[in-house]
Structure 1
Amino acid sequence: MKHITLIICFLFIFASCKEDAKTSMLPLNEIETETVKEATENTKSVKALKEELTSKGFKIFDYVDEKTQDTILMQQYFIAFLKRGPIRNQNEEEANRLQSEHLAHLGKMYELGYADISGPFGDDGDIRGITIYNVPTLKIADSLANADPMVKAGRLEIEIHPWWAGKGFPLR
């Protein structure tokens, strides 16, 4: 039954994508106009963004780029280092269950807007990964990070630090 459901979902998504492709065939200048229009509608003024962030308790400041003279709004985030914990003697089945719950927890943090990015490191060091929390206080970030099932089980430990980044800048 699962296989049939998956096939139906796949076909539905494929058909939807095909229809989207047909309907979104606009000339380049119309695409650019639509993109600018969408960006303008979804962009708050810097003043409104500052007011919103400070009203929610976020720490912010303006930074002037010496090279471009642009003013960049800096926001404090919290970076959580997920470190190897003291209790790592779970059997394979338990470790796999914890990993699934850990990934579900991180996904929930992202969906709720509390975490902006998470991921493991590519080596086998003591620091296993990071999560960047987009919350106003260290207390909230610490609470969310320590709610992770891997942390609760002792398989991971958390170390959190305040971290500043330019608001709205994407990863490159």
Structure 2
Amino acid sequence: MKKSLFLFFFLTISVVGFSQETKVKYDETLAKSLHADEYGMKKYVFCLLKSGTNTTASKEETKKLFEGHMETINKLAKEGKLAVAGPFMKNDRNYRGIYIFNVETAAEAEALVATDPAIKAKLLEAELTPWYCSAALQEIPEIHEKITKTKM
């Protein structure tokens, strides 16, 4: 009997807890600052980085170009033009990494891609596609700074 009473009480509390409607906590100021639409979304440009056609660069040249690549990533992130960037793990598709540009058009992203030394030297190739995602995505660089113990 005690088990049945306990089970009934537990199920009643669970149903009441789950059936209560959660209140949306819309922050208009934040939404406007992130240029979010009514769904909390905005336009970005997704950039898929693939292995480029330059296969003759020396190790020293490649190292220098990728140092410039990292500098470009950091610069664009600080300027707010790059929401996310990161490498892919080893794969058989020649995918090297991604950029998600905090711009509305592929033309704007194309101009930013042109500043990357590894892309200019054709070590990497960039494929750009308009993308629609949460406006909150652009908050990642600030959060990342708070959780990074060692800088790259």
Normalising by structure 1, we get a TM-score of 0.59
Q: Give the equivalent residue in structure 2 for 1:113.
A: 80
Contact 1:102 1:148 in 2 (8 A): yes
- The letter of the residue matching 1:82 is L
CA deviation digits over 1:114-163, x for unaligned, max 9? 00110000124311000000012211111101221001001111101111
Matched, 1:82 2:49: yes
Runs (5+) with no aligned partner, structure 2: 1-26, 141-152
Contact 1:84 1:127 in 2 (8 A): yes
- The letter of the residue matching 2:58 is N
Deviates further, 151-160 or 122-131: 122-131
Q: Give the equivalent residue in structure 2 for 1:44.
A: 29
Displacement, 1:91? 0.8
Answer 1 or 2: higher relative contact order, Cα 8 Å, separation at least 6. 2
Deviates further, 137-146 or 110-119: 137-146
Contact 1:77 1:136 in 2 (8 A): yes
Contact 1:83 1:157 in 2 (8 A): yes
Separation of aligned partners in 2, 1:92 and 1:45:
46
Contact 1:146 1:158 in 2 (8 A): no
1:150-165 correspondence runs (5 A): 150-165=118-133
**CA separation of 1:94 and 1:167: change in aligned 2, threshold 3 A:** same
CA deviation digits over 1:42-73, x for unaligned, max 9? 97164xx18x84xxxxxx643xxxxxxxxx32
Structure of larger gyration radius: 2
Contact 2:104 2:130 in 1 (8 A): no
Aligned-pair RMSD on alpha carbons?
2.3
Separation of aligned partners in 1, 2:41 and 2:28:
17
Separation of aligned partners in 2, 1:117 and 1:45:
19
Identity %: 29
Separation of aligned partners in 2, 1:148 and 1:45:
31
Matched, 1:94 2:79: no
Matched, 1:131 2:99: yes
